[in-house]
Amino acid sequence: MIVKTEYVDISLAGSRMRTFVAAPGAGGEYPGIWCYSDIFQLSPPLLRTCVRLAGYGFVVAAPEIYRRIEPPGTVIAFDDAGRTRGQQDAAKTPVADFDADCRAGLDWLSKDPRVARGKIGAMGFCIGGHLAFRAAFQPEVRATVCYYGTGIHDGKLGKDKDAGSLARAKEIGGELLMIFGTKDPHVPEAGRETIDRALRDAGVRYKTLLYAAEHAFTRDEGPRYDPEATDQAFAATIQLFRSVFGN
């Protein structure tokens, strides 16, 4: 399937939310996926993932998560200075701001003429995995994939000391796929068990997939990239979205 891409500026109070959109080039309506980046924002690996997913018949929209802090178009480098910058940007952002941007983004995506009515999903990587988990609280989100979401098990997200995400798990009405690397120090085994226990207790329809891989194993730049684990996790992502939304 041929894919078309563009950048869209979603008008919001304070500053616009620059969003990368990848969608099937053919006419018609498709499920819409609100996709969150890691702390480096809209990097080339993230854009490639969006394009790949769009090629399977989805309208994929990825926002700049630090729109209140960084100038539009800012891509943070994959180095020590960039990691520090991304973490500092996150630490300056209240969870309420992340949630407000999520609500605005889902509203925009739902109104896009390429998006089929009632077919909205979410996904994300690293901090974006946590943001996708919170997007799943929204009633229209029917399927969510969280790749190695940080801070879900201990509440660490943004400026707040405790985002309380697990305590709200009962608000997840759609299906959920949690993906982790067993060598990920940011979400250790105890943290994964905490997440599983909370999701079971909340009655969430979910599945957890584990790969013998490190944190950010899907990022196809750098020493932690695991192609096989990435392909398997991507296949599981497609399977979930198609099982919920249809082919």
Give catalytic residues, as residue numbers: 126, 184, 215
Give the rounded distance of the alpha carbon of 11 from its chain centre. Answer: 21
Contacts from 15-18 at CB under 8 Å and sequence distance 24+? 15/67, 15/68, 15/72, 16/67, 16/72, 17/63, 17/64, 17/67, 17/101, 17/104, 17/105, 18/42, 18/63, 18/64, 18/67, 18/72, 18/73
Stretch (H or E) spanning 197: helix 189-202
Helix, strand, coil percentages for the chain (3-state, nearest 5): 35, 25, 40
Q: How far apart are CA 34 and CA 188, in angstroms?
A: 27
Q: Which residues contact 210 (CB under 8 A, 6 or more apart)?
A: 180, 181, 182, 192
What is the 8-class DSSP label of residue 67? T
Residues in the chain: 247
| CA–CA gap between residue 215 and residue 71 (Å, rounded) | 27
